[in-house]
Amino acid sequence: MSSIVVYCRLSRSVAVRCYSTSLEQARYAIKEHNSRINALAHVTAKGEISPTTDGPLSGWAVAIKSNLATETAPTSCASHSLAEFISPYTATAVTALERAGALVVGSANMDEFGMGSKTQYSIYGPTYNPSGSSKTSHSPGGSSGGSAAAVASGMCRIALGSDTGGSVRLPAAWCGVVGFKPSYGRISRFGLVSYGSSLDSVGILARSVSDIRSAYRAIAIPDSNDMTCMSASLRTRIDRLGRSRSWITEQKAKPLEGVRIGIPQEFWVDELSDNALRVWRDGAQKLEQLGCEIVGVSLPHIPHTLPAYYTLALAEASSNLARYDGVRFGTRHKCPDTANLANASLKYAQTRSHGLGAEVQRRILLGTYVMSAAACQHYYLPSQRIRRLVQTEFNRVFALPNALCLSKFEVKERSTAVDALLFPTSTDTAPKQNTDGDECPVSSYVNDVMTVPANLAGIPAISVPSGSCNGLPLGLQLAAQYGDDELLLQIAHHFQTA
């Protein structure tokens, strides 16, 4: 019996417990699991996979979220409006992966244009959590649920997703894998279809922090095609600041001795389940055993981040998605009535009504409203103020200064600051996947309550598997100062492997 057959028989009912180390294993897992899980919307034919090149990711199977441009598969964003769109170029992050030797095995399913928390708003149908039994179908999270499910079921070793308000970290927590959102600008957004431009980040999912770190180092490079991408000089400045912390660079008896972890009290929300609270406490004790000092911190404006996030994200989405009108981008809807419409606006409306799903239309309408003259002063501008206050509060609690704030560039006193924060990724385990369409849309927005602060502040955050309840995984989230991605990955690695 071949090793491939043994590998797949061990992983038929639940998520694969070991890494996909070859293209052959990944393709076998796709054949075995994708029909049930629906993680990949498009599978790359064997003959279309480019020969591997020597590099740190040589031979690694990788899945790409369907909103990252590739020249070999539709960049559909799981939407009818882009179902047949083939990009004329490849996203910088995907190109960097291929140069490092990775092999793209397919495009991952997602919520349409990244708008959702359960991967249920897709023209390809919903994705299901590999951790659920065959009798129950749970959500993998969203909007990068296809990427998370593909990693968890062994269809790829790593996957790329996009994280606007937790779209990488929430699926990672619910599927039992690692999900990393880097600092805003660390990874180029060139080739990523925009949802909220000031919030979007390309994220990475894998079974281990070690694999995340390898992929991150391959694709976190300056890119002149993206004006929001960190420059080489800014990266050098951040590295220099990081090396100035003596308590991090010194050799210690315990792997994380000298590191101070903050526990933000504002994340203890009413919706937090007993299981998530138990995992949070166990995680703090685990870090303490690794040598960390655990302290309480306060971020007073965290309770306001969810409404502020949805105000800002939907306002930006309303602008970004205006281009899908059937003229500039998107498939133009053709019907007898359209030919007789004299009003051009009505022609656009016909195309957008048929090309965009109900959830996308809902968010465009809300975003258009908050940017109107009557509502801007009451919603949009106060949300921008809350965002700045949240950024200031994160800068206050972290020992490493924010490299974007040029006024103060010294490391803070250890008695008043921390190196990273620890808090839950989700309030509970994955819910059932709702396919009836009778769920209140607002209820799914609450799933992002733990993840949106990192996007508003632009700081790096990573979700690490930390426990389970009734066979469904739970994750804990670590966050660090803007640009302090390497320290965050170091802490997460020790946390996962301890």
Supply angle C-alpha 155, 158, 164, rounded to 5: 115
Q: Is 167 a catalytic residue?
A: yes
Neighbours of 343 (CB within 10 A): 8
| Per-residue pLDDT in tens (0 to 9) along the chain, 498 residues | 444 443 343 343 333 344 545 899 999 999 999 999 999 999 999 888 877 778 999 999 999 999 999 999 999 999 999 999 999 999 999 999 999 999 999 999 999 999 999 999 999 999 999 987 665 689 999 999 999 999 999 999 999 999 999 999 999 999 999 999 999 999 999 999 999 999 999 999 999 999 999 999 999 999 999 999 999 999 999 999 888 887 776 667 889 999 999 999 999 998 899 999 999 999 999 999 999 999 999 999 999 999 999 999 999 999 999 999 888 888 887 766 655 566 777 778 888 888 999 999 999 999 999 999 989 999 999 999 999 999 999 999 999 999 998 655 555 655 679 999 999 999 999 999 876 666 677 777 888 999 999 999 999 999 999 999 989 999 999 999 999 999 999 999 999 999
Element (H, E) at 297: strand 293-297
How confident is the model at residue 346, as a pLDDT? 78
Fill in the amino acid letter for 46: K
Question: 222-254 burial string, b = 16+ CB within 10 Å, else e?
Answer: bbeebeebbeeeebebbeebbeebeebeeeeee
* Residue of 167, 183, 444, 466 marked catalytic: 167
pLDDT of residue 1: 41
Helix/strand/coil for 472: strand
Q: Which pLDDT value is given to residue 342?
A: 63
- Give dist(CA 41, CA 21) in Å, integer: 22
In this structure, the dihedral spanned by the alpha carbons of residues 101, 107, 109 and 115, taken in order and rounded to 10 degrees, is 80
Token code pair at residue 456: 């508003």
> Residues 65, 118, 181, 347: which is the catalytic one?
65
Q: For residue 378, count other CB atoms closer than 10 A to its CB.
A: 11
Gyration radius from the chain CA atoms: 22
The reply to whether 81 belongs to the active site is no
**Which element (helix H / strand E) includes 98?**
helix 92-99
What does the pLDDT read at residue 10?
A: 36
DSSP-derived pairing of the beta strands 293-297 and 201-206: unpaired
Q: Is 412 a catalytic residue?
A: no
By CB neighbour count within 10 A (0-12 exposed, 13-18 middle, 19+ buried), where does 99 fall? middle
The reported pLDDT for the residue numbered 434 is: 76
Nearest to 137 by CA among 149, 155, 154: 149
- In this prediction, residue 244 carries a pLDDT of 84
Q: How high is the pLDDT of residue 436?
A: 62
| Residue 45: how many other CB atoms lie within 10 Å | 9
Look at residues 219, 197, 226, 38 and name the one whose alpha carbon lies nearest to residue 113.
197
Rounded to two decimals, the pTM is 0.92
Q: State the catalytic residue, choosing from 107, 122, 143, 147.
A: 143
